[in-house]
Structures are given as C-alpha cells and as structure tokens.
Homo-oligomer: A and B are copies of this chain.
Amino acid sequence: MKSLIRVGIVGYGNLGKGVQQAIAQNADMELAAIFTRRDPQSLAETTGVLTEHISAADQYIDKIDVMILCGGSATDLPEQTPQLARMFNTVDSFDTHAKIPDFFAEVNATSLVAGTVSVISTGWDPGLFSMNRLLMQAVLPQGEEYTFWGTGVSQGHSDVIRRVPGVKAGVQYTVPVQEAMDSIRAGETPQLSTREKHRRECFVVAEEGADRGEITRLIVEMPNYFADYDTTVSFISEEELADKHSGMPHGGFVIRSGVTGGGSRQIAEFGLKLDSNPEFTASVLVAYARAAVRLNREGNKGAKTVFDIPLGYLSPKSAETLRRELL
C-alpha cells in the first residue's frame, strides 16, 4: 500500500474548511494538521483535528508533504507563501492579477533554493479559466475570447454595500448578461462594454427609518464598483437575507469564438455553475496539492502555475489507467 499524501492547511476560513472537506473525498490523502494565527487550542476543539499555531510549522517539516495556503491575496499569501515554501511544497490561490509576475518571481527564487514545488495562483479564476483561455487561444489563434463571471456572490462588492450609510446587511450578485452570451454562442464576436457584459444585483437590509432612495442612489452611482454597470437594489428583510442569500454560489464561462480555414466558425466554451465557490476552489487546490507532491518526488522544484503542470499529475490514477479510461 502506498503511503498517503500528508496535507497541512494554513488558515481555517471558508476556503480552509473546504480543503478539509475535499481531502476527505480523496482516498490518497490525509489531513495532517491545521495551522492558524488564532488560538490553536480553541480551534482544535471545534474541528477535532490537530491544530497548531502557524509559528510551529517548522516542526512539521518531515510530517507534512504539502501545505495548502488558504489565506487572502491582499496580505496573507504575499507573506505566507514565500515563508512556507522554504520548508514545504505549497499550493495557493493568489489572485491579485497585476502582482502575479512579482509573486511568481519571489516564490520561485525561494522554492528553487529550498528544493520545494510551489503551485501558485490556482483555483478556478485564476486556475481552470486560465487553462481554458490558454488552450482555446493556442487551438484557435484567430478569434475573440470572453470571460463572464456569475451568477455569483462578489465578496468585495458585498462588503462595499454593507458600508453604505443606512445599510444593515446585504449581498451583491454579479450576473452575466444573457443577451451578450447568446450573441457569442450564436457566432457573433461583439466588442462589449463593461455594462454589456455583466449586471449587478444587490439585496439590501435597510436600517429602520433609513432613506431607501438615498441608499439606492449611493449604491448605483458608486464609482468603480457600480457606476459602470446596470445595478438593481432590492430591499429585503433580515429573514429573507438569511434564508435565501446565505450561500456562496458562483461560476462563469470562458468562451472563445474563432475562425479556421475557409471561414468556419468554431466556438469553445468552458463553464462552471457552483453552489459553493470556496468548496470548489478548495477542491482545485487539493488536486494541485497532489500534483505538487508528485512533481517534487520526481525531482522538480520552483514555482509552478497551472500552465506548467501536465494534467495527469492531478489524478490519483496511473498514466496507464488514464489512457485506458479517459482518453
């Protein structure tokens, strides 16, 4: 019997919980420990899992094969990935697009010296969507490509509406514009403005006596976040918010509409429809954790992205089985 891949989780928010659940779905893996900046004792009582303060990670160098980093891209990962890559293979979902080149360079330098493999910026976008953009562009070099997100909860936009005066609670959904998708699927290649691609739906619980007209105006006219979109604001009760809007659904589509040969229209589309954004992202991270360990065992080191890793490394099945069953 092969030994299990021993996984550590760093950070136990929604994503970290999703990783714990995803590990349980993969028979070749086990959760070794959770690392947190909070009080490890109280978290251990909640989770029933060995829980350590993040500062104790260095004691696990021989006990963990890969660390899955579940912190945020703003402040957690820029610090944690390079730090942990000195000791462990790592996987993260760093998604601050403009900073990816610098992040890659820093993590790569660290991992090369340490002899570890660090898979950066995986998940579904960046991640599976990026892979499909590359694949579709390579196959259809003449064409137009579109990414649509949603229908799904945008955490950033939801945070912003909660800070509007008079708003008690709220959630924001990013919704792809159906007409735009239909037109591309029908073979057109429109130039689309921001407003023509997505709209924004806000569900808001107002404080008692608040001016709802003013709340609506403040939201729909807000620069950067809402002004460039068709935005709707619906006022609902706290009960309805809890009942109908407590999930974290998301999804989207990458579509490329290309032309080959004598003008043949060729359309490729990859789409996701997710009940739980963090659980799905976590499932992607776990598949790449397997790849990181296997790559490292074969002698590879350095930072890797989804573009660098053969798909076969994601699967617990042998190359022979994959050829027989899936090709």
> Which residues of A line the B interface, CB within 8 A?
17-18, 21-22, 25-26, 97, 100-101, 104, 121, 126, 128, 130-135, 137-142, 185, 260-262, 264-276, 279-280, 282-284, 287, 290, 305-312, 314-316, 319-320, 322-324, 326-327
What is the chain B residue whose CB lies nearest that of A17? Answer: B261
CA distance A270 to B310 in the complex (A): 18
Query: Which residue in B22, B312, B323 is a CB contact (below 8 Å) of A104?
Result: B323
> Contacts of A104 on B, CB cut-off 8 Å?
323
Report copies per complex.
2
Asked whether A266 lies within 8 Å of B276 as measured between CB atoms, the reply is: yes
> Contacts of A282 on B, CB cut-off 8 Å?
260-261
> Contacts of A309 on B, CB cut-off 8 Å?
310
> Contacts of A305 on B, CB cut-off 8 Å?
322-323, 327
Asked whether A134 lies within 8 Å of B323 as measured between CB atoms, the reply is: no
Asked whether B270 lies within 8 Å of A269 as measured between CB atoms, the reply is: yes
Query: Which residue in B21, B25, B138, B327 is a CB contact (below 8 Å) of A126?
Result: B327
CA distance A265 to B279 in the complex (A): 10
> Contacts of A290 on B, CB cut-off 8 Å?
138
CA distance A94 to B17 in the complex (A): 43
| Listed A/B pairs (13) with beta-carbon separation below 8 Å | A18-B260, A18-B261, A101-B324, A134-B315, A138-B316, A264-B275, A266-B279, A266-B283, A267-B273, A307-B311, A307-B322, A308-B310, A308-B319
